[in-house]
Amino acid sequence: MDPTALARNYAAVKASLPPHVTLVAVSKTRTVEEVQALYDLGHRDFGENYPQELKEKQTLLPADIHWHFIGHLQRNKVKYILPFVHLVHGVDSESLLDELQKRALALDRTLDILLQVHIAQEETKHGFSPGELEDLLSRWVVGQRDHIRVRGLMGMASLTEDQDRIRLEMEGLSALFRTIRDRGPFDPVAFSILSMGMSSDAGLAVAAGSTMVRIGTAVFGARRG
């Protein structure tokens, strides 16, 4: 992508977001050169979907990048990213939680994660249902997963042009986030991230209470090929 266009896109996206909202630039399938160019503009938070691609980029790019894993993470791929990943967004099962705890314990690090909630009408999206999440939290023993720090929730709204449906789904996740933050079992100071919103619906997400958006196309432009 032309560096001037990248700088223009980045400035426009940043200007559209309130200061308290973190922009995660979705860099999956983007080249190392494109990521470096955005880094050179001062950006540090990048989101990847594929463990092997993320591992390769991490070795080639600056060490102070905050790498966010935003895709569906399989348990057998955890080992590729755990030594360096900043935040895992899509923790969608108790078995994945246990694998992350085991791997983080072995590395003697505390891993920040988000619990993914299924709020869309598409069955293809991952995440706990609100009922499954309620059951998990009712059995959560503080200190048991001592190398996992739950920082908040993540969700993806339905892929639809129905703005009212998207708004309702996002407002529902925001209400759930506030309930868990206020009730526990997590530290309410650490439990501060609500990750929802992409290029197509970031405005609705921020209005609903999102504190972190995942945007690729609006920053880097349309993918080639």
The model's pTM is: 0.95
Residue ranges covered by each domain of the chain: 3-220
> How deeply is 195 buried, as exposed, middle or buried, from its count of CB atoms within 10 A (0-12, 13-18, 19+)?
buried
Please tell me the predicted confidence (pLDDT) of residue 1: 74
Q: Tell me which residues of the chain have a pLDDT lower than 70.
A: 123-125, 224-225
pLDDT, position 124: 64
Report the distance separating Cα 128 and Cα 154, nearest Å.
10
53 Cα distance to chain centroid: 17
Q: What CATH fold (topology level) applies to the domain 3-220?
A: TIM Barrel (3.20.20)
| pLDDT for 126 | 84
Which residue do the tokens 């426009």 mark?
A: 12
Pairwise CA distance, residues 218 & 216, whole Å: 6
Residue 6's pLDDT is what? 96
